[in-house]
Amino acid sequence: SPSDPDLVERARAAKEKLGDKVFVLGHHYQRDEVIQFADVTGDSFKLARDAAARPEAEYIVFCGVHFMAESADILTGDAQQVVLPDLAAGCSMADMATAEQVAECWDVLSEAGIADVTVPVSYMNSSADIKAFTGRHGGTICTSSNAKRALDWAFEQGERVLFLPDQHLGRNTAVRDMGMSLADCVVYNPHKPGGGVSVEELRAAKMILWRGHCSVHGRFSLESVRDVRERIPGVNVLVHPECQHEVVAAADYVGSTELIIKTLEAAPAGSKWAIGTELNLVRRLANRFADEGKEIVFLDRTVCFCSTMNRIDLPHLVWALESLADGKPVNRIQVDPETEKYAKLALERMLALP
Ligand code: 13P
Ligand code: SF4
């Protein structure tokens, strides 16, 4: 079993043997059994920033998903090896934009005569290839905690943004934080010729949103917001910006996983909260704040884990740590130098945002 005391002991022993040679990063969506071994926990922005914080560590064990491990590899020196305990820990949203599809989209924009004045802004939840495309075309990466600042910057560089690959984060930021209207956004569908939009629509749009989404956050509906408000009078609804626009519009607060945690830390005793994000995090917060009299529930009543985040479990972590302690590293994530060069440019633009 994952909470097997023997496995806990083995993880502890391997980590102790490795000492400063290993640095374990854990995203907030990781299981409790894994997060207990993280040296640092965070949202995807904090983990990208902190990845380079321990240059003396030979190994970075990334407890999160593939695009996060790639970003850590891009932002750290060649001497540091990034390890993802299960290579099957991908992200369905990141998979929704391939390099070929994005190159095709750029051709469509070029033919419409607008590529020169369009700035790509790519969500962290994208492959290194997409980040490299973004860097090559003068764009930046963003996360859910700095999307507004990234868009402010992008509109100083050009007239229009191509936002990849999460249509919801793009739309929510444009409409909620930047004062744009829904009519300023068009959706580019990579599965349709020309993206399924007319040249006129592309030219008129301020935001061209890639048709990608998160399958976990996509499950929250307006119905779930209405239900919880009825069930728990006075409840505060706090959701992640990967939720659909109508859910975000009906919520009281919106923010990244780190902001969700900070908001609950600052919340007064006796307050009630319904949280629209991944279930490992919501459960951990519900337990953590129960003693302080803060009632925290999951926004939807159906179980909703991120299945790929959950692939990193204690057995995989033990396997990875023991392989490092034995000097036979497994599951190294290594981005090729050419991709790394341009992806790094885009990531550094994000890290330099005001
Ligand atoms: P955060 O940057 O808010 O941690 O979000 C990452 C993610 O994958 C959300 O689904
Ligand atoms: Fe990807 Fe959604 Fe899982 Fe985040 S929660 S890693 S966006 S599938």
pLDDT at 224: 96
Residues of the chain scoring pLDDT < 50: none
User: How far, in Å, is the centroid of ligand 1 from the Cα of 110?
Assistant: 32
Q: Which ligand is nearest to the CA of 278?
A: 2
Q: Which ligand is nearest to the CA of 142?
A: 1
Superfamily of domain 5-90+309-336: NadA-like (3.40.50.10800)
Residues with CB under 6 A from ligand 1: 28, 43-45, 125, 143-144, 214, 242, 256-257
Q: pTM of the full predicted structure? A: 0.96
What topology is assigned to 217-298 in CATH? Rossmann fold (3.40.50)
Q: Which residues does the annotation place in the binding site for [4Fe-4S] cluster?
A: 91, 214, 306
pLDDT at 1: 56
Residues with CB under 6 A from ligand 2: 65, 91-93, 125, 214-216, 242, 278, 306, 308-309
pLDDT at 303: 73
Contacts of 78 (CB under 8 A, 6+ apart): none
Does domain 94-213 correspond to CATH entry 3.40.50.10800?
yes
pLDDT at 301: 80
Locate the ligand 1 atom nearest the alpha carbon of residue 257 and give its number. Answer: 3
Each residue's pLDDT tens digit, 99-156: 999 999 999 999 999 999 999 999 999 999 999 999 999 999 999 999 999 999 999 9
- Give the start-to-end residue ranges of the domains of the chain: 5-90+309-336, 94-213, 217-298
Each residue's pLDDT tens digit, 89-99: 999 999 999 99
Q: Which residues does the annotation place in the binding site for iminosuccinate?
A: 27, 44, 123-125, 144, 240-242, 257
User: How far, in Å, is the centroid of ligand 2 from the Cα of 11?
Assistant: 26
Locate the ligand 1 atom nearest the alpha carbon of residue 255 and give its number. Answer: 3
Reading the block at residue 314, the tokens are 């204690």
pLDDT at 221: 96
Domains 5-90+309-336 and 217-298 share a fold: yes
